[in-house]
Structure 1
Amino acid sequence: MAADVVGYSALMQRAEEATYAEFERLKQELIEPSLYRNEGRLIKTTGDGALVEFASPLAAVRCAVEIQDYLASGTSPFRLRIGLNLGDVIVGQDGELYGDGINIAVRLEGIADPGGILISEKVYSEVEGKLAVSFEDRGEQQLKNISRPVRAYDVRAGASSALTERLNAVPPLPDKPSIAVLPFENMSGDPEQEYFADGMVEEITTALSRFKSLFVIARNSSFTFKGKAVDIKEVGRRLGVRYVLQGAVRKAPGKVRVTAQLIEVATGAHIWAEKFERDMTDIFALQDDVALAVVSAIQPRLFQAEIAMAKRRRPEDLTAYDLYLRAIQRAFRTTREGLAEALRLVQRALELDPEFAAAAALAGACHAENVVRSYAVDAQFESREAVRLVRMALKLDHDDPDTLANAALISALLVGDWETEIEMSDRAVTLNPNSYRAWNCRGWVYKVAGQPEEAIRSFERAVRMSPLDPQQYIVLTGMGFALIELRRFDEAISAGKKAQRHNPSYPGPYRCLASALAHLGRDADAREAAARMLEIDPAFTISAWIGRSRLSINAKLMIEGFRKAGLPE
Structure 2
Amino acid sequence: MRRMQGSRFAFGPFVLDSGAGTLLRNDVPVALGQRGLKLLAALVERPGEILEKAALMDAAWPGTAVEEGNLTVQIAQLRKLLGPGADSGEWIVTVPRVGYRFTGAIEQLDGARRAPLALPGKPSIAVLPFVNLSTDPEQESFADGLTEDLITDLSRNAGLFVIARNSAFAYKGKAMDVRAIASDLGVRYLLEGSARRAAGRVRINAQLVDAVSSEHLWAERFDRSLEDIFAVQDEVTGKIVEALLGRLSAPPPRNRPKNLEAYDLCVRARKLIDESPQTAREAHLMLTRAVSLDPDYAEAYRWLAMNHWMGWVHWGEPMEPARSTGLALARKAVAIDPNDAGCRWVLAYLLAYDRSFAEADAEFARAIELDPNEADIFATLSDIAVLAGRTEDGLAHIGKAFRLNPYPAGWYYLTLGQAQYAAGDYEAAVETLRKDETYRTSSRRFLAASLAQLGRLDEAGSEAALFLVGNPHFTTRHWAATEPFRDARTLAHFVDGFRKAGLP
TM-score (structure 2 length as normaliser): 0.51
The alpha-carbon deviation at position 175 of structure 1 amounts to 11
The whole-number CA distance in structure 2 between the counterparts of 1:557 and 1:524 is 20
| Structure 1 gap ranges (5+) | 1-172, 182-199, 212-230, 250-255, 267-286, 293-316
The alpha-carbon deviation at position 209 of structure 1 amounts to 12
Describe the SS at the equivalent of 2:272: helix
The whole-number CA distance in structure 2 between the counterparts of 1:245 and 1:233 is 9
Describe the SS at the equivalent of 1:245: strand
The alpha-carbon deviation at position 567 of structure 1 amounts to 1.2
Residues 262 and 411 (structure 1 numbering): CA distance in 2 closer, same or farther, change over 3 Å?
A: farther
Cα contact 1:180–1:241 (8 A) shared by 2: no
The whole-number CA distance in structure 1 between the counterparts of 2:158 and 2:215 is 13
Residues 429 and 555 (structure 1 numbering): CA distance in 2 closer, same or farther, change over 3 Å?
A: same
**Mapping of residues 159-308 of structure 1, within 5 Å:** 176-177=145-146, 242=204, 244-248=206-210, 256-258=212-214
- 2:417 is the alignment partner of 1:480: yes
Residues 352 and 175 (structure 1 numbering): CA distance in 2 closer, same or farther, change over 3 Å?
A: farther
Structure 2 residue aligned with 1:355: 296
**Mapping of residues 412-491 of structure 1, within 5 Å:** 412-413=352-353, 415-469=354-408, 471=409, 473-491=410-428
- Deviation per residue, 1:76-123 (Å, 9 max, x gap): xxxxxxxxxxxxxxxxxxxxxxxxxxxxxxxxxxxxxxxxxxxxxxxx
The alpha-carbon deviation at position 409 of structure 1 amounts to 0.8
The alpha-carbon deviation at position 353 of structure 1 amounts to 1.0
Identity of paired residues, percent? 23
Structure 2 residue aligned with 1:195: none
> Which of residues 303, 322, 328 in structure 2 aligns to 1:382?
322
- Deviation per residue, 1:494-540 (Å, 9 max, x gap): 2212224xx2x532221111011101111011112112222332332
Describe the SS at the equivalent of 1:329: coil
Describe the SS at the equivalent of 2:209: strand
Describe the SS at the equivalent of 2:467: helix
Residues 481 and 350 (structure 1 numbering): CA distance in 2 closer, same or farther, change over 3 Å?
A: same
The alpha-carbon deviation at position 561 of structure 1 amounts to 0.7
The whole-number CA distance in structure 2 between the counterparts of 1:401 and 1:565 is 39
The whole-number CA distance in structure 2 between the counterparts of 1:452 and 1:176 is 36
Structure 2 residue aligned with 1:392: 332
- 2:279 is the alignment partner of 1:345: no
The amino acid across from 1:417 in the alignment is S
The whole-number CA distance in structure 2 between the counterparts of 1:540 and 1:439 is 28
The whole-number CA distance in structure 1 between the counterparts of 2:301 and 2:457 is 44
Structure 2 residue aligned with 1:509: 443
The whole-number CA distance in structure 1 between the counterparts of 2:193 and 2:459 is 55
Describe the SS at the equivalent of 1:247: strand
The whole-number CA distance in structure 1 between the counterparts of 2:458 and 2:431 is 17
Residues 204 and 534 (structure 1 numbering): CA distance in 2 closer, same or farther, change over 3 Å?
A: same
The whole-number CA distance in structure 2 between the counterparts of 1:347 and 1:380 is 19
The alpha-carbon deviation at position 485 of structure 1 amounts to 1.7
Cα contact 2:164–2:404 (8 A) shared by 1: no
Residues 565 and 210 (structure 1 numbering): CA distance in 2 closer, same or farther, change over 3 Å?
A: closer
The alpha-carbon deviation at position 464 of structure 1 amounts to 0.5
- How many pairs are equivalent? 296
The whole-number CA distance in structure 2 between the counterparts of 1:482 and 1:395 is 32
The alpha-carbon deviation at position 210 of structure 1 amounts to 12
The alpha-carbon deviation at position 448 of structure 1 amounts to 3.2
The amino acid across from 1:546 in the alignment is A
Residues 258 and 410 (structure 1 numbering): CA distance in 2 closer, same or farther, change over 3 Å?
A: farther
Residues 445 and 523 (structure 1 numbering): CA distance in 2 closer, same or farther, change over 3 Å?
A: same
- 2:482 is the alignment partner of 1:520: no
The whole-number CA distance in structure 1 between the counterparts of 2:345 and 2:149 is 27
Structure 1 residue aligned with 2:15: none
The whole-number CA distance in structure 2 between the counterparts of 1:261 and 1:539 is 57
- Deviation per residue, 1:380-407 (Å, 9 max, x gap): 3222211111110110111111111111
Structure 1 residue aligned with 2:496: 560
The whole-number CA distance in structure 2 between the counterparts of 1:560 and 1:247 is 52
Structure 1 residue aligned with 2:134: none
Residues 262 and 527 (structure 1 numbering): CA distance in 2 closer, same or farther, change over 3 Å?
A: farther
The alpha-carbon deviation at position 548 of structure 1 amounts to 3.8
Describe the SS at the equivalent of 1:498: coil
The alpha-carbon deviation at position 242 of structure 1 amounts to 3.9
Cα contact 2:384–2:484 (8 A) shared by 1: no
Residues 265 and 556 (structure 1 numbering): CA distance in 2 closer, same or farther, change over 3 Å?
A: farther
RMSD of equivalent CA atoms: 4.2
Residues 261 and 547 (structure 1 numbering): CA distance in 2 closer, same or farther, change over 3 Å?
A: farther
The whole-number CA distance in structure 2 between the counterparts of 1:243 and 1:560 is 57
Residues 485 and 346 (structure 1 numbering): CA distance in 2 closer, same or farther, change over 3 Å?
A: same
Greater relative contact order (Cα 8 A, min sep 6): structure 1 or 2? 2
Describe the SS at the equivalent of 1:416: coil
Describe the SS at the equivalent of 1:487: coil
The whole-number CA distance in structure 2 between the counterparts of 1:412 and 1:524 is 35
